[in-house]
Structure 1
Amino acid sequence: MVLCEMAKLAATIVALLTFTRERWMPLLLARSTVSAFAIPAVGLAFCNQGFAYSMRRLGPMTYQVIYKAASISATACVAKILLPHRQLGALQWCTLVMLVAGATLCSHSPAEIAKPGGVLAAPTLEHGWWQGIAAVLCNALLFAIQGVCFEGAAEKAPGGPLLHASAVALYGLGVNAVLLVAMHPQWLLESAWAAYLASRPHLALLRGIETTDVVSALSIAAADLTMALFFSLLGANAYSFSRVLALVVSALIAQLGLGLELSFEFICGAVVVSLSGLVYHEHVTVAHERQPPNG
Structure 2
Amino acid sequence: MEKIIDGKKISQDIREEIFSKATAFKESTGIIPGLALMIVGNDPASEVYVGMKAKTCEKLGFYSLIERLPETTSQEQVLAMIDEWNNRPDIHGILVQMPLPKHVSDMEVIKRINPDKDVDGFHPVNVGKLVAGIPCLQACTPAGIMELLKRSNVSLKGKHAVVLGRSNIVGKPIANLLYQKNKDANAIVTICHTAAQDIAYYTRQADVLIAAAGAPEIIKRDMIKEGVVIIDVGTNRVEAPGTEKGYRLTGDVDFNDVYDKVSLITPVPGGVGPMTITMLMYNTLEAAIMQAR
> In terms of Rg, which structure is larger?
1
Please say whether Structure 1 and Structure 2 have the same fold, judged by a TM-score greater than 0.5.
Answer: no
Considering fraction of residues, name the structure with more helix.
1
TM-score (norm 2): 0.22
Higher RCO (CA < 8 A, seq sep 6+): 1
Considering fraction of residues, name the structure with more strand.
2
